Amino acid sequence: MQLLLVEDDALLGAGLRAALAKAGFGVTWVKDGRAALDVLDAQDFVAMVLDLGLPKVSGAEVLRSLRARGNALPVLVLTAADSTPDKVRCLECGADDFLGKTADMEELIARLRALVRRAGRSRGVLCVGELRLDLESHTLTHSGETIPLTNREFKVLRALMEAAGRILTRGQLEASLYGWQDGVDSNAVEVHIHNLRLKLGSPILQTVRGVGYTLLRQGA
């Protein structure tokens, strides 16, 4: 399970990487917010441990950018700023959990494992109802039956499964397909949504008129 660690303190970062690796995580360690955003665009992770006081781009901005893209990657904020107002701000920005830097390492690892389990990301697999999407093989199964996907259908479905229960706008789904760039086909998302509905054969994928699309957590 590959984990992203974002921490600018060299001594603390080295200690965290060693402890997390010993606990069975593969760890990618970056030391500033800009590097974190770049690597998030290029690589898949099961969770992220994020410091707030980062150079170049703050941890809060990294978190806001991640959620603005519709990415539901589990994020545990680890910071020295651990007052109640700090915790509230982090959770409002989209953090899934929060620990002070003085926290016990065993507690940190236990909380990370719990986040990964809740998100259905163990072993690189997303699960929503009877849908199971293997992130490594790009294989989708529905009620045990394998369903072929094009590369772009995979990207759209992955974004929807990561955000299951929440509504994603067309713009957020376009970003999952193309990144934040111009020249996107005007009806590309609608076409992929239509094809996915035909392949899934169930009402789990719904349109919220005038807002966007959502994948129901139950009822697949």
Q: How far is CA 88 from CA 63, 73, 81, 93, 95, in A?
A: 14, 19, 11, 9, 10
Percent of the chain at pLDDT > 70 equals: 90
Residue 159 lies in a domain: yes
Give me 32's structure tokens: 């500033």
Predicted TM-score (pTM) above 0.95: no
For residues 27 and 63, state if they share a domain: yes
For residues 47 and 63, state if they share a domain: yes
Q: What is the pLDDT, as a whole number, of residue 220?
A: 38
Could you say which of 72, 90, 119 is where a domain stops?
119
For residues 69 and 32, state if they share a domain: yes
Range of the domain at 26: 2-119
Q: What is the pLDDT, as a whole number, of residue 32?
A: 95
Residues 214 and 208 sit within 8 Å (Cβ to Cβ): yes
Q: What is the pLDDT, as a whole number, of residue 182?
A: 43
For residues 175 and 100, state if they share a domain: no
What's the rounded Cα separation, in Å, for the pair 42 and 33?
15
Q: What is the pLDDT, as a whole number, of residue 60?
A: 87
Q: What is the pLDDT, as a whole number, of residue 171?
A: 79
**How many other C-beta atoms can be found within 10 angstroms of the C-beta atom of residue 34?**
14
At 80, which CATH number?
A: 3.40.50.2300
Q: What is the pLDDT, as a whole number, of residue 112?
A: 87
203: Cβ–Cβ under 8 A, 6 or more apart, which residues?
Answer: 216, 219
For residues 99 and 138, state if they share a domain: no
Q: What is the pLDDT of residues 21-42, one digit of tens each?
A: 888 788 899 999 999 999 988 8
At 199, which CATH number?
A: 1.10.10.10
Residue 86 lies in a domain: yes
List of the chain residues with pLDDT < 50: 122, 180-183, 219-220
For residues 148 and 127, state if they share a domain: yes
Sole residue written with tokens 């994948």: 215
Residues 175 and 184 sit within 8 Å (Cβ to Cβ): no
Q: What is the pLDDT, as a whole number, of residue 43?
A: 80
